[in-house]
């Protein structure tokens, strides 16, 4: 199946899906050293976003979160790609400055039980 959304940052990649029902705060909510989600009571608390195709509704929290995404990339702990329902500025800017393939305006509920996903952000497209 194919879904098309909106390109935030380009790139083509295939990988394992990590799905979050809840929004993610990168600053304070993700450890930039290892990519682990550290926000208390987050459904993914303790899981690592590193090397995953991260699927989540949208980002939240401090705008410094854009730099946290950049820090993850520098530490080789960033997600391979980010797929969202609706982006806001924090994740959009983070994806751009960190050059992480990123698409939004995707009905992410359809990806809930997926193991793997193919992302072609150049065409704003995902395949599964």
Residue 28, sorted as left (phi over 0), alpha (psi -120 to 50) or beta, turns out to be: left
Rule CB under 8 A: say whether 25 interacts with other proteins. Answer: no
Rule CB under 8 A: say whether 56 interacts with other proteins. Answer: no
Determine which one of 20, 25, 62, 66 is catalytic: 62
Minimum CB distance to other proteins, residue 93 (Å): 5
- Per the annotation, the verdict on 20 as an active-site residue is no
**Of 89 and 110, CB closest to other proteins:** 89
Residue of 5, 3, 1, 2 whose CA lies nearest to 85: 5
- Strands (DSSP E) found in 57-110: 59-60, 81-84, 102-104
Kindly determine how many residues on this chain lie close enough to bind other proteins according to the rule CB under 8 A.
27
Q: Which of 20, 25, 87, 120 binds other proteins (CB under 8 A)?
A: 87
Q: Is 114 helix (H, G, I), strand (E, B) or coil?
A: coil
């Amino acid at each position: 199946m194919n879904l098309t959304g909106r390109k935030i940052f380009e790139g083509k990649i295939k990988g394992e899906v990590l799905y979050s029902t809840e929004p993610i705060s990168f600053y304070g909510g993700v450890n930039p050293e290892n990519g682990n989600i550290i926000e208390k009571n987050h459904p993914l608390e303790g899981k690592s976003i590193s090397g995953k195709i991260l699927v989540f509704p949208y980002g939240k929290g401090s705008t410094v979160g854009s730099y946290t995404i950049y820090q993850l990339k520098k530490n080789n702990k960033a997600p391979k790609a980010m797929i969202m329902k609706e982006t806001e500025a924090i994740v959009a800017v983070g994806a751009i400055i960190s050059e992480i393939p990123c698409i939004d305006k995707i009905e992410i509920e359809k990806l809930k039980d997926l193991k793997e996903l193919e992302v072609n952000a150049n065409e704003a497209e995902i395949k599964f």
